[in-house]
Structure 1
Amino acid sequence: MSEDDRLQDTEGAAKKAEHHSDPATLPVPEILPVLPLHGFVFFPGMGFPMNILHPASQQLIDDAILKDRLLAIVSHKKAGEEKQERVEPQHLYRVGVLGYIHKLVKVREGGYHVLISAIKKLELVEYVQEEPYLKARVAIVPMAIEEDKEVEALELNLRTQFKKLADLVLLPSELVTTIDSLSDPFYISYLVISQLNLTPVEEQALLEIGPGKELMHRTARELNKRIETAEMSQEIQKSIKEDTDDKQREFFLRQQLKAIRKELGEEEENLDLKELREKLAETELPEEAKKTAEKELDRLARISPSSPEYTVSRTYLDWLFDLPWLKSTPDSLDIVKAQQVMDEDHYGLDEIKKRIIEFLAVRKLKQDMHGPILCFVGPPGVGKTSLGQSIARSMDRKFIRISLGGVRDEAEIRGHRRTYIGALPGRIIQSLRKAGANNPLFMLDEIDKLGMDFRGDPSSALLEVLDPEQNFSFADHYLEIPFDLSRVMFITTANIIDNIPGPLRDRMEVIELSGYTHEEKLNIAKRHLLPKQLEAHALSDDDLKIEDQGIRMIIRSYTREAGVRNLERKLAAICRGVAKEIVTGKTGTTVVDADNLVTYLGPIQFFPETKARTWGPGLATGLAWTPVGGELLFIEAAKMKGKGNLTLTGKLGEVMKESATAALTYIRSHAKDLGVEEGMFAKIDLHIHVPEGAIPKDGPSAGVAMVTALVSLLTGRTVSKDMAMTGEITLRGDVLPVGGVKEKVLAAVRAGIKEIVLPALNEKDVVEIPDNVKEGVRFHLVQDIKEALGLLLDKE
């Protein structure tokens, strides 16, 4: 049963209990739950509203309401012990009262407001339960006395003297009416005792006196003492009344106001202030935050609890006290353990793991070092977000992820000012409160997808957050107090670094994650993806085994991606198919290899791109970079009779169109050297087409491929089918370097390309490509287009 359901059942039972005819006639169980009282004593015949805040006491009330609504009420021996987590039996008196719950109301902040009446006097014989709350075997104390002249005289004396006290201290007239209506001498005695302003210890001593004449005699003596004190106080008040100055008068009025609020049941607000002041004393705050909290507390004390400003101020103080201003979690600086954790969670990614190990090593030598601002850039599905989780786990830090995709409002980062209705701090401060430490690992996901509109520019708000030289005093609009973010380790992720504003990009250390090779995908599938999917589909290694050749075929023929998300989906599809077979009665181990893969995944979805082309002069294989990895880019050229026009199709961007124009200009200006008839350009039209026209394409890296396709067409020499190329060209024929070399090489390897032509200045990028990728691939580094054409075109 949920908490809300339990509360509804409790409140429903409480409402039924309100109309019970006579609780005194209810049978009393031998064992009752025990409710401790702090600071006052309950007497038989009394009814009193109570606030129940302790969770164990709230559960006790719930259980009592759902049963017979009876409970034992006893007082704590020491006042002011209500904050302790657990009440021990030895801390409670043995004599108390039998209580009956008439009404229950849930008040704000999770407390209970209950109306309880005391029916009879009882004694705790022995405790039978201590958790989750106390239960005890009880014995009801009989309250009967034989009426005689002395009892009548004592009863009359108590009534008369109580009326005298009521006139002296201005007790409510309802109390006088009540004492006149009572016929039981003990209820009269207990009502009088409750109005004598005795200490809890004195009241408990009177409660423990057995019902009889002794109780009535003691009550009469205490009543006379109280009357004498009241008369003396009245005389003193009269004597000093003329000397009362303004401050004394103000104090007197405040005391009266306090008493009036107590009578109206509004003392909860005072409890709020008391609780907040105690919280301020217990919470470790910076000096500026402490001064602000004290000032806000003084302001709160002057605000009426019914005012909307009260809630605003109270919420602000809660935020101040709950934030981890000076609370940190200890860093795990065990480099060996960190390496093991990252190796367990991720295969490959050596460059990033090396960077994290270096950071931990420096942190071990210099404890006060600011956290780095790392930016993982790469295509989807390569493990950027999960790598952040592994780093947090290796360092024993709290992990907080904030998705920035589509965020357009600056207030999401910096928060709203308190003048707005419903104002809250920004996501940074909210996440720190959730983490409970000022040094978590923050993962700011999709930072390249931040938006900007009339509400502000969130990327500009992040400039302060992601600058180690400024974020020690990050200013949230809601708090208006600087918060130190220098201990936070920020990691951001992005698919395209060009979409990140320059000033923001300058504050981060960019680490690029390229797509995985076939071998890396194989290992990731075997170590991580397949075990995860087996567990998700309630399968074991004895139910399904996928051979390495089967996984390689999935990678090569069923997925075409830089990451491994589609690979995981295909493995999940195989698991679903095997699960269906097991449910329908198949036994034994299902072995999936390249031969029976079609049974589970259907026909092959991707074929090598080069095999899908009709090869001949005018066709060249280029290499392109995309946000989701590298791709082959086929450049087709055709000629026809015309007047020297150039047509470009394939949804090309401006830069790519310029590359085509530059390629044609180079060929025309060097026609003789290239073996092209110079006069033919005025007689023909040329058409350059890049297939897959629905996909936008742009960038300068197809320049070499365009020159090669045109020269191939005009000279009739075929470009080698097993060769791919990339590079930007100039009008003079120089081949300039391009980006995304690793992704392009991976795409070429996936397509079965054996030789790749690259600009000579990209040699540094070739070094970073894994050896298992470069194995079997020959790289040609060229300085100019003539050198490239000599490699790419057939000699005939």
Structure 2
Amino acid sequence: MNKRSNTSIQMIADYEGDVTNMLNVHVDGEIPILATRNMALFPGVIAPVIIGRKQSLSLLRKIRRNQDTAFAVFCQKDQEVEHPGENDLFSYGVYAKLVKVLEMPGPSNNHTAIIQALGRCKLKRVTRTSPFMLAEVTQAMEEMPSAKDTEFKTAMEDLRSITLNYIRQNEDLPDESQFALNNISNDIIAVDFVCTNLPFDIKDKEELIATNSFKDRVIGTLRVLHKELQLLELKQNIRSKTREDLDEQQREYFLQQQIKNIKEELGNGDGSPERKELEEKAKNKKWPEEIGKVFKKELDKLDMFNPQSPEYSIQFNYLQTMTNLPWGEYTTDNLDLKRAQRILNNDHYGMEKVKERILEYMAVLKLRGDLKSPIICLYGPPGVGKTSLGKSIASAMKRKYVRMSLGGLHDESEIRGHRRTYVGAMPGRIIKNIQKAGSSNPVFILDEIDKVTQNTVNGDPSSALLEVLDPEQNNAFHDNYLDVDYDLSKVLFIATANDLGSIPRPLLDRMELIEVSGYITEEKIEIAKRHLIPREIDNCGLDEKGAKPTFNKAAIEKIVEQYTRESGVRQLEKQVNKALRKLAYKKALDRTLPYEKITPNEIEDLLGKPPFYRDIYQGNDYAGVVTGLA
């Protein structure tokens, strides 16, 4: 039998007179078994059963050849089982006889069998499952109430009354079911009719059919009916509440439609492409509930402005800024310490203190899972790689990278943004760069923090940085333009400076200071070999297939000692570039490289006479030069 809904009454049954002969059925030996899904039959009821499974169709063909063949009907425990066995059937069922077979139209090859249920039976064991199921069953006798049993009569009157009340309240049951119940005069058939047709749980039905005393079955049916009525009342209460909510929503909807029609008449219709775009973006935002309320309020304000007015453009730009910010969106950190160490070492030579601090932060983050980002300030002479280190840190952690140059910053609004009352108002550069990064946890480089102008007519920009660079405050950074709090606590801020003396003390106190000292000659030689020379060969177009120029160690040392005088490596990079440009010029002129290996002898040819001499400051014979100062 195929799956069927048991929510509507499809059964017709009545029996006048004594039902004992119909219910008192006894068949010895093996009989065929019809397994039904989600349908339990009770004695005396006639029911249509849809036949679709191969097992059931084989049984139907056998019974049609001989309509007097007795068989039994048992319900499955699990309706999903396609080929049920003994353990898949409930223990109690009914004997049955075939009344009629109706062939259903269509390619499904389904048949509807009209079956009359007879007396109860109990399953002993299944003896065969193919081509149809055979089993040994025994008759299950029923204890019938006496005609003078007033308790039974009272229970029956109560059952009929409650059943009619249940049918009236249940919208899923057809009205014809009341008529059918009223026209069944026999109490026994009426009880079995109710048990078969009402949408009780299949386990409740099986408990009722397993009851040997008929009066106990009536009382059990009353108990189930009372439970179903309570559930039905609960459902109706829920429906009533939701209907009230729906009515309120419909009222609001009609009012909104009226407002929309009025606006369309005025030439300012709702549903502009800009508004729809903002609403679509807002759906995917992970912002806090308070931010969502502010956005909704500001979006409603947009409807009050004419699209041609300047206020509309200002409001739209503000809402666009809100939706473009990565609220609660974070990139996933790669906390593989060995990988991070390898990337940092490959990109920068030396700088052990900085690398160690970054790896410590990653290690703690890996162990804790969540951590406020430190505020680091790298200070040291120019050209030692402070700024470029930020890119390597971002690459090592697989975070977004943004850089903000603070050199010469003289306006506090550059940090905090302008209030929207001003013409041309915009968010501060902190919020702009977060928006540009597209994530709330980038590596954020604050370059040249010591060059920020202090105490100007436009405020004090260095004081505006106090909130940004305080781990206790920056989880609620307030931008004047945005006018709501934004969480910067997951941003890894790295400031760079050349001179700590010009940084205000409160700002200095908020940062973790790490010195990046200048390089000695040996370190500069390594940096040139590993990073500068390969990069400049590429920049000068000398990396084509074939011979490439190479510098020996003495040549690099000569450039460092006699052509540069600095703590960093910027001038060294320029001198290497100058030498390679000269080679590129000669190669382009003669189509051949004048020399592949560059030694100290070739350096003077490429760079000219050296401007600095080490012996000036190595001996004390040169007047006016002190070794320490040199």
TM-score (norm 2): 0.57
Partner of 1:360: 362
Aligned residues of 1:269 and 1:305 also touching (Cα < 8 A): no
- Whole-Å separation in 2 of the counterparts to 1:351 and 1:252: 65
Distance 1:393 1:550, change over 3 A: same
Among 611, 614, 621, the residue aligned to 1:615: 621
Q: Deviations over 1:607-626 (max 9, x none)?
A: 1264698739x978363xxx
Q: Secondary structure at the match of 1:621?
A: coil
Are residue 331 (structure 1) and residue 336 (structure 2) matched? no
Q: After superposition, where does 1:470-489 map in structure 2 within 5 Å?
A: 470-489=473-492
- Whole-Å separation in 2 of the counterparts to 1:414 and 1:609: 54
Q: Secondary structure at the match of 2:272?
A: helix
The more displaced of 567-576 and 280-289 is 280-289
Deviation at 1:255, TM superposition (A): 5.8
Are residue 458 (structure 1) and residue 464 (structure 2) matched? no
Q: Deviations over 1:493-526 (max 9, x none)?
A: 0011111110100111111111101111001001
Are residue 563 (structure 1) and residue 537 (structure 2) matched? no
Among 311, 314, 335, the residue aligned to 2:316: 314
Deviation at 1:253, TM superposition (A): 6.6
Aligned residues of 1:578 and 1:590 also touching (Cα < 8 A): no
- Whole-Å separation in 2 of the counterparts to 1:335 and 1:248: 57
Q: Secondary structure at the match of 2:286?
A: coil
Partner of 1:394: 396
RMSD (CA atoms)? 2.5
Equivalences, count: 376
Partner of 1:439: 441
- Whole-Å separation in 2 of the counterparts to 1:315 and 1:622: 62
Aligned residues of 1:392 and 1:398 also touching (Cα < 8 A): yes
- Whole-Å separation in 2 of the counterparts to 1:496 and 1:587: 47
Sequence identity of aligned pairs in percent?
Answer: 45
Are residue 604 (structure 1) and residue 607 (structure 2) matched? no
Partner of 1:342: 344
Deviation at 1:348, TM superposition (A): 1.1
Are residue 491 (structure 1) and residue 497 (structure 2) matched? no
Deviation at 1:314, TM superposition (A): 1.1
Q: Larger Cα Rg: Structure 1 or Structure 2?
A: 2
Among 581, 593, 606, the residue aligned to 1:576: 581
Partner of 2:277: 275
Distance 1:250 1:317, change over 3 A: closer
Deviation at 1:251, TM superposition (A): 7.8
Distance 1:473 1:253, change over 3 A: closer
Partner of 1:383: 385
Deviation at 1:302, TM superposition (A): 1.9
Q: After superposition, where does 1:169-568 map in structure 2 within 5 Å?
A: 254=259, 256-260=261-265, 267=269, 270-452=272-454, 453-540=456-543, 542-568=547-573
Aligned residues of 2:372 and 2:489 also touching (Cα < 8 A): yes
Deviation at 1:254, TM superposition (A): 4.3
Amino acid at match of 2:468: V
- Whole-Å separation in 1 of the counterparts to 2:582 and 2:254: 86
Deviation at 1:368, TM superposition (A): 1.8
Partner of 1:192: none
- Whole-Å separation in 1 of the counterparts to 2:478 and 2:344: 34
Aligned residues of 2:452 and 2:462 also touching (Cα < 8 A): yes
Aligned residues of 1:288 and 1:481 also touching (Cα < 8 A): no
Amino acid at match of 1:529: L
Amino acid at match of 1:558: Y
Q: Secondary structure at the match of 1:305?
A: coil
Q: Secondary structure at the match of 2:601?
A: coil
- Whole-Å separation in 1 of the counterparts to 2:483 and 2:615: 59
Aligned residues of 2:263 and 2:270 also touching (Cα < 8 A): no
- Whole-Å separation in 1 of the counterparts to 2:255 and 2:626: 93
Partner of 1:91: none
Amino acid at match of 2:565: R
Deviation at 1:250, TM superposition (A): 8.2
Q: Deviations over 1:258-293 (max 9, x none)?
A: 5546xx6x6586333333333323322112211100
Q: Secondary structure at the match of 1:490?
A: strand
Deviation at 1:248, TM superposition (A): 13
Amino acid at match of 2:287: L
Aligned residues of 1:442 and 1:491 also touching (Cα < 8 A): yes
- Whole-Å separation in 1 of the counterparts to 2:625 and 2:556: 31
Amino acid at match of 2:327: W
Q: Deviations over 1:538-594 (max 9, x none)?
A: 113823121110100000101001011111111111111111111122535432111
Q: Deviations over 1:648-701 (max 9, x none)?
A: xxxxxxxxxxxxxxxxxxxxxxxxxxxxxxxxxxxxxxxxxxxxxxxxxxxxxx
Aligned residues of 1:408 and 1:450 also touching (Cα < 8 A): yes
Distance 1:307 1:407, change over 3 A: same
Partner of 2:151: none
- Whole-Å separation in 2 of the counterparts to 1:442 and 1:250: 48
- Whole-Å separation in 2 of the counterparts to 1:334 and 1:548: 35
- Whole-Å separation in 1 of the counterparts to 2:442 and 2:603: 45
Deviation at 1:355, TM superposition (A): 1.1
- Whole-Å separation in 2 of the counterparts to 1:322 and 1:485: 16
Aligned residues of 1:445 and 1:494 also touching (Cα < 8 A): yes
Q: Secondary structure at the match of 1:571?
A: helix
Deviation at 1:309, TM superposition (A): 1.3
Q: Which runs of 5+ in 2 are unaligned?
A: 1-251
- Whole-Å separation in 2 of the counterparts to 1:329 and 1:252: 42
Distance 1:494 1:253, change over 3 A: closer
- Whole-Å separation in 2 of the counterparts to 1:248 and 1:497: 62
Distance 1:552 1:280, change over 3 A: same
**Which of structures 1 and 2 has the larger relative contact order (alpha carbons within 8 angstroms, sep 6+)?**
2
Deviation at 1:252, TM superposition (A): 8.8
- Whole-Å separation in 1 of the counterparts to 2:309 and 2:585: 63
Distance 1:602 1:622, change over 3 A: closer
TM-score (norm 1): 0.45
Q: Deviations over 1:679-729 (max 9, x none)?
A: xxxxxxxxxxxxxxxxxxxxxxxxxxxxxxxxxxxxxxxxxxxxxxxxxxx
- Whole-Å separation in 1 of the counterparts to 2:311 and 2:561: 65
Amino acid at match of 2:486: F
Q: Secondary structure at the match of 1:278?
A: helix
- Whole-Å separation in 1 of the counterparts to 2:547 and 2:304: 72
- Whole-Å separation in 1 of the counterparts to 2:626 and 2:617: 12
Deviation at 1:350, TM superposition (A): 1.2
Deviation at 1:412, TM superposition (A): 0.4
Partner of 1:68: none
Q: Deviations over 1:188-235 (max 9, x none)?
A: xxxxxxxxxxxxxxxxxxxxxxxxxxxxxxxxxxxxxxxxxxxxxxxx
Distance 1:390 1:407, change over 3 A: same
- Whole-Å separation in 2 of the counterparts to 1:343 and 1:293: 46
- Whole-Å separation in 1 of the counterparts to 2:264 and 2:452: 57
Deviation at 1:472, TM superposition (A): 0.5
Amino acid at match of 2:536: Q
Distance 1:417 1:518, change over 3 A: same
Deviation at 1:408, TM superposition (A): 0.5
Q: Deviations over 1:69-91 (max 9, x none)?
A: xxxxxxxxxxxxxxxxxxxxxxx
- Whole-Å separation in 1 of the counterparts to 2:482 and 2:397: 29
Q: Which runs of 5+ in 1 are unaligned?
A: 1-246, 624-630, 633-796
Partner of 2:202: none
Q: Deviations over 1:412-454 (max 9, x none)?
A: 0000000001101100000001111000000000000000310
